[in-house]
Amino acid sequence: MLQALSKAMFSVLADSVVLKKIASRYGMRRERSFARRFVAGETMEELIAAVRALEAQRLETTLDHLGERVTDREAALSAALDYAEVMKAAAAAGISRNVSVKLTQIGLDIDRATCIDNLRRVLEAAREVGGFVRIDMEDSSYTSDTLDAFETLWKIGYTNMGVVIQSCLRRSPEDVRRMNRLGARIRLVKGAYSEPRDIAYHRKQDVDQAFVALMEVLLTDGHYPAIATHDPAMIDATLAFAAAKHLPRTAFEFQLLYGLRRDLRRQLVAKGCPVRVYVPFGKEWFPYFMRRLGERPANIAFVLKSLGREDPDR
């Protein structure tokens, strides 16, 4: 119940224009500011520095140029072109060209054609530098459109991309089967959005049970799946299932959020597990930051306790 209330409250805060303006003035000004716990910075230079520090620790990365729910065609095109520039800059710097994109950032709220055209631009830019594009999953109102857009481009040859599935949604088992049939790479997450009870599980034990069931399907029938969680129980369940099936630890990867559970990252790397860190950056960081706090009530106390005391990932 507490987790559901936390998600709902922080979802409302994430959409607050007033809070976003205030946060944009103060949230990134200091090296140890509150937002830098979760966000690498606002510029490409800050991103490159953060990624190099992570890669020095034998970690892989995926880069997220933050933004969502764009309703202007020029802004959607600009976001797609920004991603192209991010990948070019990353290639020039010799860092990861693996990126994560939200479809509402590149036109899904405008119309399907705009979104598809801009996603093709991002995928073409990724092809030019040997990059990979992960399509982030947004709230449940976008799930069908996101998967339809993904499948449309996959079937015409854009296979340098993967997608995200949320275990909290009741529909996800069929979505996993659908993506597995395509041959797509899936990132499995629990889900960060406040969803209605009729389409999503609300109790943690139900979300966890669904996560484990989907993880087992992905490790058995998937295509280099990404298990994205900070929950030690979910990680232990994944490692136990992989061992029982005699799967090499390189058959899948774990994904963790930037700034969280660096102890866990080190432990997994020491065990020989591929680990990828989701590294967000850019000026549109406030909604992302709010949702990270809302995912778990413990995150709020965790961030407050760490302010001014613990160095950021860099």
**Which residue numbers are catalytic?**
136, 187
- Tokens for 274, please give them: 């591929």
> Rg of the Cα trace of the chain?
18
* Cβ pair 173, 201 in contact under 8 A: no
251: number of CA atoms within 13 Å, CB side?
17
Cα 62 to Cα 204: distance, rounded to the nearest angstrom: 27
Q: Distance of CA 162 to CAs 153, 201, 313, Å? A: 11, 24, 26
Three-state DSSP class for residue 27: coil
Beta bridge partners of 275: 254
Closest CA to 71 of 11, 114, 116: 114
* Cβ pair 10, 289 in contact under 8 A: no
* Cβ pair 174, 206 in contact under 8 A: no
Q: Torsions phi, psi of 186, nearest 5?
A: -115, 135
- Residue with token string 């965790």: 302
* H/E run at residue 289: helix 286-295
- Tokens for 180, please give them: 């597995």
